[in-house]
């Protein structure tokens, strides 16, 4: 027996003790895997290599060019189960496999799943051999397919691999369902939420694999944040042997502590148990955040009848040299940076993201948008898969209080309202409303006209507008918003994407840049991205009709089919670089506008080689009007305030030949803040 198998055997020995003593057990199943690529064009002698999950085989090649490995890879793992498993149900749950997975246990196919971004759970009870060694083989394929969304690698790459955690779940033969689209089997709905009371409905799905109907008690206990029980409800039920059965409980939380977004993301804990003869035979724990969302048009967005500013960013999940195989600490680092910048809402684009992410948003208080990868184009063959993925998205994430809207599609177009994209979007909207009538739905167009034939098939119309980048001038966003409000004052509209690329290795003084850009050029100066956001955020802020806006993107990300702006396979519209090491100027622009943390920041700090002797110095400050010093001498002229009260510009600053020290200083509440940069003027 090799070391890996010995370790797993020992781990399972301890685990088996737990199985016999607990109602349900979940085992981390991420270690001890072997992997190899198995495409026909791969050398036949490819050896198995040891890997740990999460893992992707595209961690680097998909981030460098369009010449990445697309096709099949195989994962295998050996493990032993004790005799204790003979009277148990055993399941394998995969949180994310890119993108088609076939799972075999002891050479028996136990299930196939299509879709890279949602979880799936297969029962393996009838394939495993308790008391013996068992083998799991997973065939994974990330080749783009016409019947699986997304249908290509264009807007983002479909990384191959088992890139999210795997777990082995053991239950009794009567259990809360694990295979209802890999949901927790518990669904918490709420209505009439107020500071006085909140009505909660709990639906539970139960399966009985015993040889006779069973009498059970369903007990639900709600605990507050301090761990104290605030209410309990028990109902007696009879579970037959036929089919998955649904039961419901209703209860009222009196004087609830409400979930109030970032200000107070208060969570209750709901523990639902199945009991027989006083013994717990299964148990599931879910979060409960009591809140009411309202999208009230130009009046704004409200959480529990309180106005909530929707300062939004979008987020792709991949990272330089890791691909999408990220740890929880890396996910948390992303959320922490988003929080630092002052964002209040996140659009998770363009697919279901890690379960940890949604849970952290519940805990941190972000209001979030979750969506499926029906993006970019269509083939007319992906309808069934899109419906499957939307059902998975909703059922798996139903209980997360942070989610306010389900996204149905992004930039998928037809020529008439009867064409495939519009018809499928209507079907998806219907599914969302049946599955979860308590949340909004949204679809997104890349055009600015409401009359587009695929539009108006969801509660909210999202529009992606890249003025100054893909069309028009940067300031064109203003007339677009005015025109839309005049024509459609009662429509619910969000600015679902806006921005421009910025390559931190390309610098050009902002004063030399215009308000349009040819994105086919080989250089994408960071300064133009900064200018775009400096102009467009004040426009958004003055138009309450744009209830929510989502800048594109929080982080640079891989686009393997692209070769633009001097950086192949990269979308550089992020405010933070792909490796998360450098925050661009635009990051601090939004931090100064949105965050309550003090910000004093001189822009163009990487534009160190200056060509203009008389130049501008721009300072972002939410700590008051800044002072400016050039080579130790204070500039006496006051700065100009541009559009918003954090944007200060000092004009006609005369640089000397050679090295120049630029320093700024403010004082607020008795505390001093400083920032400085060094610019070199070549004197030509």
Residues involved in catalysis: 411
Using DSSP bridges, classify how beta strands 301-303 and 293-295 pair: parallel, antiparallel or unpaired: antiparallel
Element containing residue 406 per DSSP (H, E): strand 403-410
Residue 21 has phi, psi (to 5 degrees) of -100, -15
Q: Counting Cβ atoms within 10 Å, is residue 5 exposed (0-12), middle (13-18) or buried (19+)?
A: middle
Residue 104 has phi, psi (to 5 degrees) of -115, 135
Number of residues in the chain: 684
Using DSSP bridges, classify how beta strands 647-654 and 658-668 pair: parallel, antiparallel or unpaired: unpaired
598 secondary structure, DSSP code? -
CA distance 211 to 126: 16
Element containing residue 531 per DSSP (H, E): helix 526-541
Is-contact 399 362, C-beta < 8 A? no
Residue position matching structure tokens 């037809």: 414
CA distance 356 to 167: 14
Q: Is the dihedral of CA 274, 276, 280, 282 positive or negative?
A: negative
> For 264, what's the count of Cα atoms within 13 Å in the CB-facing half-sphere?
12
Q: Which residues are CB-contacts of 575 (< 8 A; sequence separation ≥ 6)?
A: 313, 341, 551, 553, 554, 555, 583, 584, 586, 587, 590
Is-contact 508 521, C-beta < 8 A? no
Residue among 298, 313, 320, 432 nearest 374 (CA): 432
CA distance 58 to 321: 9
Q: What CA–CA distances, in Å, run from 429 to 24, 408, 535, 562? A: 35, 7, 35, 32
> For 570, what's the count of Cα atoms within 13 Å in the CB-facing half-sphere?
26
Cross-strand pairs, 443: 409, 461
CA distance 634 to 193: 56
Is-contact 388 372, C-beta < 8 A? no
Is-contact 186 202, C-beta < 8 A? yes
**What would the two tokens of residue 317 be?**
């999940």
Q: Where are the alpha helices (DSSP H) in 402-444?
A: 420-435
């Amino acid at each position: 027996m090799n070391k890996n198998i010995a370790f797993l055997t020992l781990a399972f020995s301890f685990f088996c003790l737990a199985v016999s003593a607990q109602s349900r057990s979940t085992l981390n199943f991420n270690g001890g895997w072997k992997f190899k690529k198995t495409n026909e064009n791969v050398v036949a002698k490819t050896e198995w290599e040891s890997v740990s999950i999460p893992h992707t085989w595209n961690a680097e090649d998909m981030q460098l060019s369009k010449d990445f490995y697309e096709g099949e890879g195989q994962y295998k793992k050996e493990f032993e189960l004790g005799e204790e498993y003979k009277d148990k149900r055993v399941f394998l749950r995969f949180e994310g496999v890119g993108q088609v997975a076939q799972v075999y246990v002891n050479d028996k196919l136990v299930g196939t799943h299509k879709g890279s971004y949602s979880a799936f759970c297969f029962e393996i009870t009838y394939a495993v051999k308790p008391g013996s060694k068992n083998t799991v083989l997973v065939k994974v394929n990330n080749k783009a397919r016409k019947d699986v969304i997304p249908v290509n690698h264009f807007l983002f790459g479909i990384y191959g691999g088992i890139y999210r955690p795997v777990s082995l779940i053991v239950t009794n033969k009567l259990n809360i369902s694990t295979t209802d689209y890999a949901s927790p089997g518990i669904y918490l709905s709420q209505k009439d939420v107020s500071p006085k009371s909140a009505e909660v409905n709990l639906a539970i799905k139960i399966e009985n694999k015993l040889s006779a109907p069973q009498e059970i008690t369903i007990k639900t206990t709600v605990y507050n944040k301090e761990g104290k029980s605030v209410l309990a409800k028990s109902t007696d039920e009879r579970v037959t042997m036929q089919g998955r059965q649904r039961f419901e409980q209703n209860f009222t939380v009196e004087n609830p502590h409400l979930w109030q977004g970032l200000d107070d993301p208060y969570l209750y804990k709901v523990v639902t148990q199945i009991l027989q003869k006083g013994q717990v035979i299964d148990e599931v724990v879910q979060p409960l955040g009591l809140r009411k969302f309202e999208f009230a048009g130009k009046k704004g967005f409200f959480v529990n009848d309180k106005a909530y500013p929707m300062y939004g960013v979008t987020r792709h999940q991949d990272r330089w040299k890791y691909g999408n195989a990220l740890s929880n600490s890396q996910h948390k680092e992303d959320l922490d940076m988003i929080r630092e910048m002052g964002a209040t809402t996140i659009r998770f684009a363009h697919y279901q993201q890690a379960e940890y992410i949604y849970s952290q948003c519940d805990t941190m208080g972000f209001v979030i948008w979750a969506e499926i990868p029906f993006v970019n184009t269509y083939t007319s063959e992906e309808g069934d898969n899109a419906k499957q993925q939307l059902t998975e998205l909703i059922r798996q994430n139903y209980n997360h209080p942070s989610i306010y809207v389900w996204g149905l599609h992004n930039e998928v177009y037809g020529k008439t309202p009867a064409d495939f994209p519009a018809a499928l979007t209507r079907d998806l909207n219907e599914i969302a409303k049946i599955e979860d009538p308590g949340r909004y739905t949204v679809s997104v167009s890349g055009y600015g006209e409401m009359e587009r034939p695929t539009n108006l098939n969801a509660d909210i119309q999202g529009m992606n507008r890249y003025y100054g980048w893909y069309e028009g001038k940067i300031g064109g966003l203003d007339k677009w918003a005015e025109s839309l409000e005049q024509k459609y004052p009662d429509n619910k509209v969000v600015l679902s994407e806006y921005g421009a690329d910025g390559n931190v290795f390309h610098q050009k003084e902002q004063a030399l840049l215009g308000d349009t850009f040819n994105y086919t050029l080989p250089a994408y100066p960071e300064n133009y991205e900064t200018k775009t956001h400096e102009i467009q955020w004040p426009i958004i802020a003055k138009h309450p009709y744009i209830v929510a806006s989502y800048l594109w993107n929080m982080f640079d990300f891989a686009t393997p089919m692209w070769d633009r702006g001097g950086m192949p396979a990269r979308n550089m519209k992020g405010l933070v670089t792909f490796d998360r090491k450098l925050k661009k100027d635009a990051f601090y622009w939004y931090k100064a506008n949105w965050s309550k943390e003090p910000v004093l920041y001189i822009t163009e700090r990487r534009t160190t080689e200056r060509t203009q002797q008389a130049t501008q110095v721009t300072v972002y400050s939410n700590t008051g009007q800044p002072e400016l010093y050039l080579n130790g001498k204070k500039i006496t002229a006051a700065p100009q305030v541009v559009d918003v009260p954090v944007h200060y510009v000092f004009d006609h600053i005369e640089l000397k030949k050679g090295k120049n020290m630029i320093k700024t200083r403010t004082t607020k509440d008795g505390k001093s803040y400083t920032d400085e940069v060094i610019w070199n003027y070549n004197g030509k």
